[in-house]
Structure 1
Amino acid sequence: MSSGPRDTTSPRRALITGAAGGIGAAIARVLHTGGATVIVTDVDLDAARATAAIIGGAEAVHLDVRSEKSVRSAIGSITSRHGPLDVLVNNAAVCSNLEFESVPEPVWSVDVDVVLGGAIRLCQAVLPGMREARRGAVVNVASVNGHRYFGNDTYSAAKAGLLNLTRGLAAQYGPYGVRVNSVSPGTIATPIWEERLATDPHALDKAASWYPMGRVGTVDDVAEAVAFLAGDRASWINGIDLPVDGGLLAGSRAMAVDIGAAVVDAD
């Protein structure tokens, strides 16, 4: 059986938003290791430069995903130097943690505008070049929160919108050789947890008990999944969401045991 034609969208020029740290920095590192020319973008340029320096050979660019002017300026400058992007990873996100009825509009609007609005702005700026080149891959970093209720209502709503955007763009741009997919991480051990762990040192351990695989995720778990969807081995994968969640969306055996719906192992 033929394996089909080899895809020409191997990561060569890859831009990652929100890449100064955490998951974004790991994605940048893994793509760079795979041979991509990596552009590390973030609203915090100093932090982006630090990440680019650690990676070595990466470029740091200031990018505010909430500003169309910033997005257009950055993409114009990058493509003038490097040519059309081959890979776009929409990773930038913020997440408020307030009771739903108490979240003021200036707060929830940031959740939505960074997560969903940012992805829309980047895709509008990047996809025309990919369409013209008839190649390219977009990977959106969604979340299990976009699939089920796990709190953080407005952030979760924005992530659900990102999943829908992924499917819609995949259908529209697939005929031009452009693939659009997403990953949905579960709980990932990132520096953002440091403040929570300072007051609750066992927070991640407690979270791990929810996951069928018995642990929370790492930034590399997500980065490797993104690199797969961005590269040749995923050449006929388009419009899907890949959960990177240790089985959380499959169900919780721990909960089933607690309510007496599952047999506890004898050992």
Structure 2
Amino acid sequence: MSASADPAAPANGAARVVLITGAAGGIGRALTHRFADARTCLVLVDRNADGLAALAQDLGAPATILTEALDITDDDAVDALVTRVQDRWGAVDFLINNAAYAYDDDVLGTTPARWDEQVAIALRSVFLCSRAVLPGMRRRGRGVIVNMASVNAHQYFGNEAYSAAKAGVESLTRSIAVRYGPDGVRALALGIGTVLTPGAWDARLDRDPDIVDRLRSWYPLRRLGTPEDIAALTAFVASDEASWITGTTIMVDGGLTAGNQRLADDVLGIEQRPLGE
């Protein structure tokens, strides 16, 4: 365990406790910055200890931060972390299950071990972290769980193991929302499209400098997402302003899953639509 800033709760009254997995990645960093303030105790979890340390240093005051480099597919490690957090600050208010990654293998190209590894990170961790925080949320009568899902749960875009796991995340989200809604717990998923995260695209851009421009053409808004797009929606759905939203997946995908204009143009025999139509 590594901690930065003052591990005690802020002195200016009741604080909210926010636990974010995959915190050292591009979306995780944006989420962390979005939630960091003087009245928030941030629990930042990632396997990348160096990345967590850099993130905590970047945040600095006034955030109250606990960083944990651990394997979130390990039930004992997750339970122990949540117990420490509850002993120190009380129940977790917001759990943001953000950690995931994907290989490029298809069904025939992957191995059972690689399949299990991806599903464990993307789905098992959501189950374990949710299971760990739910008793505290139920006792207090409130809490929000936000799970990062994907457009891959709705359409085929490759990454078979990751896609199957994200479909499972959406199902698990609905289960939590329905079963624990009477206890004041909300659960939502975000169906995320292609997000241009800093650093994550460097190798791909080196091999294929035009990839971003080609991908933009598939999105009605003609741009890829940013980590800040995801963080902004997460902050809203976790807030009291969204207090009647639960058990659903909100698509944040630039319109990708709304339809396919390129296919429609081919079907209708349209060579080029006038600008603005």
What TM-score, normalized to structure 1? 0.92
- Match among 24, 31, 34 for residue 28 of structure 2: 24
Answering whether residue 181 of structure 2 is matched by residue 174 of structure 1, we say yes
Please tell me whether residue 105 in structure 1 is matched to residue 130 in structure 2: no
Q: Secondary structure of 1:174's partner?
A: helix
Query: Is the alpha carbon distance of 1:258 and 1:106 closer, same or farther for their aligned partners in structure 2, counting shifts above 3 Å?
Result: same
2:200 is paired with a residue of what secondary structure?
helix
Name which of 17, 41, 47 aligns with 1:37: 41
Deviations 1:15-51 (A, max 9, x none): 0001112111111111115953221111112211211
Runs (4+) off by over 4 Å = none
Larger fraction in helix? 1
Equivalent residue for 1:218? 226
Taking every aligned residue pair, what percent have the same amino acid on both sides? 40
C-alpha change, 1:259 and 1:198, in structure 2 (3 Å) is: farther
The 5-angstrom pairing of residues 215-254 of structure 1 reads 215-254=223-262
Cα distance between partner residues in 1 of 2:138 and 2:93 = 11
CA distance in 2, matches of 1:79, 1:193: 37
> Are residues 170 and 11 of structure 1, via their aligned partners in 2, closer, same or farther at CA, if it must alter by over 3 Å?
farther
Partner of 1:15: 19
CA 1:261 to 1:11, structure 2 compared with 1: closer, same or farther past 3 Å?
A: farther
Q: Does 1:187 align with 2:191?
A: no
Is 1:70 the counterpart of 2:77 in the alignment?
yes
Gap change, CA 1:30 and 1:99, over 3 Å in 2: same
1:81 equivalent among 85, 88, 94: 88
Of 74, 90, 97, 1:90 maps to 97
**Partner letter of residue 247 of structure 1?**
G
Counterpart of 1:101 in 2: which secondary structure? coil
Cα shift at 1:126 = 0.6
**Which consecutive unaligned segments of at least 5 residues does structure 1 have?**
1-9
Does 2:146 align with 1:146? Answer: no
Maintained 8 Å contact 1:92/1:114: yes
Instruction: Decide whether aligned partners of structure 1 residues 122 and 256 sit closer, same or farther in structure 2, where only a CA change above 3 A counts.
Output: same
- Give the TM-score of the pair, scaled to structure 2: 0.89
Counterpart in the other structure of 1:6: none
Q: Which amino acid aligns with 1:128?
A: P
Pair 227,35 (structure 1): closer, same or farther in 2 beyond 3 Å: farther
2:216 aligns with 208
Secondary structure of 1:139's match? strand
Give the corresponding residue for 2:6.
none
1:133 paired with 2:140, answer yes
Distance in 1 of aligned mates of 2:40 and 2:233 = 16
RMSD in angstroms over aligned alpha carbons?
1.7
Q: For 2:58 and 2:39, locate their aligned partners in 1 and report how far apart those are by CA, in whole Å.
A: 16
Q: CA deviation at 1:255?
A: 2.8
Match of 1:125, as an amino acid? A
Q: Once structures 1 and 2 are overlaid, which stretch shifts more, 74-83 or 14-23?
A: 74-83
Q: Distance in 2 between matches of 1:252 and 1:31?
A: 35
Any conservation in 2 of the 1:12–1:86 contact (CA below 8 Å)?
yes
Going from structure 1 to structure 2, the CA distance change for 1:263 and 1:173 (only over 3 Å counts) comes to farther
1:217 and 1:246 in contact (8 A); partners too? yes
Give the 3 Å change call, closer, same or farther, for CA 261–68 of structure 1 in structure 2.
Answer: farther
Question: Contact 1:21 / 1:51 at 8 angstroms: preserved in 2?
Answer: no
Q: Distance in 1 between matches of 2:15 and 2:260?
A: 36
